[in-house]
């Protein structure tokens, strides 16, 4: 039900009047479309400026007549403005108990209480989330107000003032949520920081905390996107360079603000996840994909160091972000069989492709024809960029090398390639592909064994119920020499291992074939 006011009074009659009950309950909504409510019913005003006038008086409690004329009818003569003001006041007086004071001041009595949605900004931490979200709308969101310059001069500082209160309230709510140490609390803290980032598009501290929260919740692509978007925005708009241009250092950076609630580089982060390296690679490919330039990322390291897990996570995160990831895996068992990695890749794409090629055996399938087929797959237009992943390049056969070289040397389309392998294979790759002369952006990551400090963190995460003294940690470190594979083998019983937590490593298969005494030697 809508409460209607009396019809407009003509300029030559006294304004209509009605008795307003003393116990009338007033409420005012300022965020979004501003409205006034009496006893829970929205008041319907006959024209917009009468509604704005009522809400101006609710917000400021008093105004001079001349000031109100300037705010709402500044484009008119003083006489015309006063006439319009008197006409509007005749409506407003029917719903608000206004008083006319000396020197032309119009005011609300001090004993009149009006509940304003803006009052909730000082207690955001105690509200239900459903009561918080309406406050995300702009303060007095009126499209017509853009044409009232004097009113906008009053409105914009108000928006900034309430924007600061909203940001402070959301930060306090996020800190309170993080203090609970519950998975669901991370989601609420994240929602708070997402809104703060919208409110403060140039605040590096807020965007950095948002990126760290994304990392904390496993949403690494969102962290990369947030950091790069912020860096691009302040560079384009302000001509400044942001530290967020590189998202990976966020893993180690600690904010100086005592209110910051998420020091990511803490004991609870698992070095086995290689989060820093994953973020580096995601940041690299995301930037190259956005700029439309060819790129090649490399992950080098010894057997069992975690190359496969890192490559899989990068491919998975990019796939979730809309990339088309094509994975070619080389294996030691197939090293002498020509083109097998690419044939298996094509078969995963289309089981009937060999029949379509009329190939009776692999020997009859030209490597150049295979390169043509693979090229068509990895450069096919789609909703997102394509990524060609080559795993374990140290076991690539000669024909497969030719296929890869053909793809790298064809510059008719943008290519994104991710290569993993032993460090010793790097020189072979660089020489065979003449990579230094090719127009690729590149990023190389070499995975190292863990330090004693990192090994200690892993021990406490994999076996949280044990007391880990420095001596016990060093014992694990000396037994495993910081190898991720052997740390897992030593600390995680076979019955507790899962494919999801510990991806299958070909190193495991070969070790399982050894005799017990040989395994003890390892």
Residue 89 CA to residue 487 CA, distance in Å, equals 78
Residue 522 CA to residue 326 CA, distance in Å, equals 35
What token pair was written down for 472? 């016990």
Same fold yes or no, 3-124 and 292-446:
no
* CATH for the 292-446 domain, from 3.40.50.300, 3.20.20.120, 3.30.930.10, 1.10.3720.10: 3.40.50.300
What token pair was written down for 267? 């004991």
Q: Which of 327, 287, 258 is nearest to 442 (CA)?
A: 287
Q: Which residues fall within 8 angstroms of residue 348, CB to CB, at 6 or more apart?
A: none
Residue 225 CA to residue 257 CA, distance in Å, equals 24
Q: Which of 368, 444, 445, 377 is nearest to 415 (CA)?
A: 377
pLDDT > 50? residue 519: no
Amino acid 7: pLDDT: 36
User: pLDDT per residue over 4-48, tens digit each?
Assistant: 333 333 333 334 445 667 678 999 999 999 999 999 999 999 999
Q: Do the Cβ atoms of 114 and 107 come closer than 8 Å?
A: no
User: pLDDT per residue over 191-249, tens digit each?
Assistant: 999 999 999 999 999 999 999 999 988 899 999 999 999 999 998 898 888 877 777 66
CA angle 142, 143, 144 (to 5 degrees): 90
Tell me the residue length of the chain. Answer: 522
Amino acid 14: pLDDT: 35
Q: What residues does each domain of the chain span?
A: 3-124, 292-446, 452-521
Amino acid 496: pLDDT: 57
Amino acid 345: pLDDT: 92
Q: Which of 406, 373, 207, 382 is nearest to 289 (CA)?
A: 382
pLDDT > 70? residue 139: yes
Determine the number of helices (DSSP H) and then strands (DSSP E) in the chain: 20, 13
Q: Which residues fall within 8 angstroms of residue 71, CB to CB, at 6 or more apart?
A: 56, 63, 148, 150, 151, 154
pLDDT > 60? residue 350: yes
Average of pLDDT values for 264-287?
82
Q: Which residues fall within 8 angstroms of residue 306, CB to CB, at 6 or more apart?
A: 272, 274, 447, 484, 485
Amino acid 9: pLDDT: 36
Amino acid 245: pLDDT: 72
Q: Do the Cβ atoms of 205 and 257 come closer than 8 Å?
A: yes
Give the DSSP per-residue string, 287-327: HHHHHT--EEEEEE--TTSSHHHHHHHHHHHHHHTT-EEEE
Q: Which of 110, 9, 78, 22 is nearest to 50 (CA)?
A: 9
Cβ neighbours, 10 Å, residue 473? 18
Q: Give CATH for domain 3-124.
A: 1.10.10.10
What token pair was written down for 366? 């030209």
pLDDT > 70? residue 254: no
6 vs 485, residue with greater confidence: 485
Q: Do the Cβ atoms of 279 and 247 come closer than 8 Å?
A: yes
Main-chain phi, psi angles of 40, to 5 degrees: 85, -5
Amino acid 518: pLDDT: 44
Residue 70 CA to residue 57 CA, distance in Å, equals 14
Q: Do the Cβ atoms of 487 and 275 come closer than 8 Å?
A: no
User: pLDDT per residue over 421-459, tens digit each?
Assistant: 999 999 999 999 999 999 999 999 999 999 999 999 999
Amino acid 366: pLDDT: 80
Q: Which of 302, 392, 268, 382 is nearest to 340 (CA)?
A: 392
- Report residue 460's pLDDT band, with 50, 70 and 90 as the boundaries: very high
3-state secondary structure of 387: strand
User: pLDDT per residue over 160-179, tens digit each?
Assistant: 999 999 999 999 999 998 88
User: pLDDT per residue over 53-99, tens digit each?
Assistant: 999 999 999 999 999 999 999 988 888 999 999 999 999 999 999 99
**H-helix or E-strand containing 37?**
strand 35-38
Amino acid 338: pLDDT: 87
Amino acid 61: pLDDT: 94
Tell me the three-class secondary structure of 292-303, residue by residue.
CCCEEEEEECCC
Amino acid 364: pLDDT: 53
Residue 300 CA to residue 448 CA, distance in Å, equals 9
Give the DSSP per-residue string, 178-207: HHT--HHHHHHHHHHHHHHHHH-TT-HHHH
pLDDT > 90? residue 511: no
User: pLDDT per residue over 375-416, tens digit each?
Assistant: 999 999 888 999 999 999 999 999 999 999 999 999 999 999
What token pair was written down for 76? 């008119």
Q: Do the Cβ atoms of 55 and 42 come closer than 8 Å?
A: no
Highest mean pLDDT among 16-20, 99-103, 262-266, 418-422: 418-422
User: pLDDT per residue over 300-347, tens digit each?
Assistant: 999 999 999 999 999 999 999 999 999 999 999 888 888 899 989 988
Alpha helices in 116-203 (DSSP H): 129-132, 149-179, 183-199
Cβ neighbours, 10 Å, residue 193? 25
What token pair was written down for 332? 């030691």
Cβ neighbours, 10 Å, residue 77? 10
Amino acid 93: pLDDT: 94
Q: Do the Cβ atoms of 167 and 200 come closer than 8 Å?
A: yes
């Amino acid at each position: 039900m809508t409460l209607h006011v009396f019809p407009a009074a003509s300029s030559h009659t006294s304004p209509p009047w009605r008795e307003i009950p003393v116990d009338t309950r007033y409420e005012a909504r300022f965020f979004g479309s501003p409205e006034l409510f009496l006893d829970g019913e929205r008041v319907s005003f006959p024209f917009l400026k009468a509604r704005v006038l009522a809400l101006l008086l609710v917000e400021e409690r008093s105004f001079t007549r001349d000031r109100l004329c300037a705010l709402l009818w500044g484009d008119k003569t003083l006489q015309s403005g006063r006439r319009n003001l008197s006409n509007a006041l005749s409506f407003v007086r029917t719903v608000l108990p206004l008083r006319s004071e000396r020197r032309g001041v119009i005011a609300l009595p001090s004993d009149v209480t009006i509940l304003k949605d803006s009052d909730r900004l000082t207690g955001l931490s105690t509200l239900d989330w459903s009561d918080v979200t309406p406050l995300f709308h702009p303060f007095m969101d009126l499209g017509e107000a853009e044409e009232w310059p004097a009113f906008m001069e009053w409105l914009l500082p108000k928006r900034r003032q309430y924007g600061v209160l909203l940001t402070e309230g959301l930060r306090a709510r996020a800190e309170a949520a993080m203090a609970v140490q519950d998975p669901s609390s991370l989601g609420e803290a994240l929602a708070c920081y997402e809104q703060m980032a919208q409110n403060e598009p140039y605040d590096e501290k807020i965007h950095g905390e948002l990126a760290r929260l994304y990392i904390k919740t496993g949403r690494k692509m969102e962290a990369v996107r947030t950091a790069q978007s912020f860096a691009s925005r302040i560079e384009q708009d302000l001509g400044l360079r942001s530290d967020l241009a590189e998202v990976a250092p966020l893993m180690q950076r600690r904010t100086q603000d005592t209110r910051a609630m998420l020091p990511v580089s803490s004991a609870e982060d698992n070095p086995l996840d290689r989060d820093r390296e994953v973020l580096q690679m995601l940041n690299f490919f995301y930037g190259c994909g956005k700029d439309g330039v060819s790129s090649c990322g490399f992950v080098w390291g010894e057997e069992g160091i975690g190359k496969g897990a890192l490559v899989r996570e990068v491919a998975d995160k990019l796939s979730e972000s809309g990339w088309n990831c094509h994975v070619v895996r080389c294996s030691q068992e197939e090293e002498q069989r020509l083109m097998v990695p690419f044939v298996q890749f094509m078969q995963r794409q289309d089981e009937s492709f060999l029949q379509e090629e009329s190939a009776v055996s692999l020997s009859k399938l030209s490597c150049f024809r295979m390169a043509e087929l693979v090229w068509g797959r990895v450069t096919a237009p789609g909703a997102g960029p394509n990524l060609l992943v080559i795993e374990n390049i140290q076991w690539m056969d000669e024909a497969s090398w030719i296929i890869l070289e053909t793809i790298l040397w064809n510059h008719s389309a943008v290519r994104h390639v991710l290569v993993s392998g032993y460090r010793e294979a790097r020189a072979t790759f660089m020489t065979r592909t003449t990579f230094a002369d090719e127009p690729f952006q590149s990023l190389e990551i070499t995975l190292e064994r863990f330090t004693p400090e990192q090994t200690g963190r892993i021990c406490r995460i994999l076996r949280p119920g044990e007391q880990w003294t420095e001596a016990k940690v060093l014992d694990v470190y000396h037994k495993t020499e910081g190898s991720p594979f052997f740390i897992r083998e030593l600390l995680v019983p076979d019955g507790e291992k899962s494919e999801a937590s510990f991806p299958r490593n070909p190193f495991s298969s070969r070790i399982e074939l050894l005799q017990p005494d040989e395994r003890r030697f390892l």
